[in-house]
Chain A
Amino acid sequence: MENSHSNSILTTPLSKLHLSQGAKMIEFADYLMPLQYEGIVVEHCHTRTHCSLFDVSHMGQAWVVGDDFQEVALALQAVIPADLLSLTEGKMRYTTLLNEQGGIIDDLIITRLPENFGHSAFFHLVVNASRKVVDYSYLTKVFKAHNSRAKLHTLDNFAAIALQGPKSLEILVKLNSSIADIEFMRARSIEISGIECWISRSGYTGEIGFEIATEKDDIEKLTQLLLDFDEVKMAGLGARDSLRLEAGLPLYGNDMNDTITPVEANLSFVLNKKRRESADFAGAEKIIKQLKQGTKQLRVGLDIEGRAPLRQRVQIMLEDKQVGVVTSGCFSPTLQKPIACAYVDSDYINSSGLMATVRDKKIPVKVGGLVFVPTRYK
């Protein structure tokens, strides 16, 4: 496991390439990462119209290994509310890792590896960079507590990039035509120019896109192959954040933490129907009660009057009473107006007269949907 507690800042194998591309680098989750190259808005719009390449090597990747598929799936299901037992080979799920109180320890993507994958590995996990140390030690503890022989095998020698945008498919197909056969939220091993890649059709922008993992030693060559296409440009964390917020996708640490349940986070879709009935995952009692009775607060989108962006921690007021708080906000390059998501007290979600306080100004807001720009991924 990587040591994220050390004081030295971590880098990805693409850090030299970022600098050669003119990146402005910032520290993010202990990593030195590109915030932007040409500019956040240009990169954002390029992703929506063409496609962009993001370095996602900071994210944690791991296999869950064991002797028996059922045993491994059940060990994970103890803290993950998805139906992993019935997940077909190559299929992936967006889900959450839960603590005993139903709080979200992390949100993650879990993929069932093909039966013939090898390495005794049954599942592939992708977790947030800021949470990998916590996640890995939690899962290891959970496996032990359930006397399971399931084990975590962290892929410290892996790096990953994401190609996101409407042109991503036609470009990747030029490198290997079988990429066209990967359906949305599925993954498989595919070779590109002699490089063994693990490719999934998924992403964090709301556009059609792919995430490609490979050995660290090969990632720069792969990135360069993609950058040789005129339509492909690098994009940084700045554009990644505004793209995901337009698409209504939450960010761990902003919009979720380990005291918030999936129901409060407006992510009830991660709670599989069968699993709700069996109620056999961490925090199930509390979560199922919330599904029936509702929650005190809920993550919602905000329709904001005017042009002033609402940032994280801006308070939502009804007269003198605070009834909510913004957890993510930006100026939407696509809509040319501010967008935000917030936790709002459930009793006041339909109230008129909600105001966000920015400096000494009161800005009228209305609770709306979380998806600001319709998603086009498929």
Chain B
Amino acid sequence: MTTYYAKTHEKLTVDGSTGVLTISNYAIEELGDIVYLELPSVGDSIEQGKGIIVIESVKAASDVYAPVSGTVLEVNQDAEDDPSLINQLQGDDNWLIKIELSDDAKQQLESLMSDADYQASIS
């Protein structure tokens, strides 16, 4: 299992050909109280760099961009019903979607940051 980060604060945890998309703890803290989520549908194809999710905090709406290309395998229905789950800094309930990585994704992962590089980029 390897964790990758995008400059736009998405976090992708990859296991084989599946990736779990969340936002970084830094982004969670910056956004504040999350009140609304707009998730894609299972089966949607997603393209690296395109906005795929909208997160609304009390303050504002923010886009979440696809860190890699692929297909939506699963969406976090519980978080859509209770968006405050995304505010949790720990545990396994704060995920957004699961992605089946495309053939291009392996190369795309190289454009993302490691945990150490990401932590350095925000400090």
- Complex CA gap A307/B35 in Å reads 8
- Complex CA gap A333/B57 in Å reads 11
- Complex CA gap A314/B56 in Å reads 14
B118 within 8 Å of A (CB atoms): no
| 0/1 interface trace, chain B 27-51, chain A, CB 8 Å (1 if under) | 0000011011010000000000000
Q: In the complex the two chains form, is B35's CB within 8 Å of A39's CB?
A: no
Q: In the complex the two chains form, is A238's CB within 8 Å of B58's CB?
A: yes
A330 within 8 Å of B (CB atoms): yes
A326 within 8 Å of B (CB atoms): no
Q: How many chain-A residues does the 8 Å CB contact rule pick out?
A: 17
Q: In the complex the two chains form, is A330's CB within 8 Å of B58's CB?
A: yes
Contacts of B38 in A (CB 8 A): 308, 359, 361
- Complex CA gap A308/B38 in Å reads 8
B60 within 8 Å of A (CB atoms): yes
- Smallest CB–CB gap between A44 and chain B, Å? 8
- Among B32, B56, B58, B59, the residue within 8 A (CB) of A308 is B56
Nearest chain-A residue to B34 (Cβ)? Answer: A331
Q: In the complex the two chains form, is A40's CB within 8 Å of B35's CB?
A: no
A242 within 8 Å of B (CB atoms): yes
A-B contact pairs, 14 of them (CB 8 A): A40-B32, A40-B33, A40-B58, A40-B59, A41-B33, A41-B58, A238-B58, A307-B35, A307-B83, A309-B56, A309-B61, A330-B58, A331-B58, A361-B38
Q: A308-B56, A311-B60, A338-B36 are in contact. List 20 more A-B contacts (CB 8 A).
A: A40-B32, A40-B33, A40-B58, A41-B32, A41-B33, A41-B58, A238-B32, A238-B59, A242-B58, A307-B36, A307-B83, A308-B36, A308-B38, A309-B35, A330-B58, A331-B36, A331-B56, A333-B58, A359-B38, A359-B54
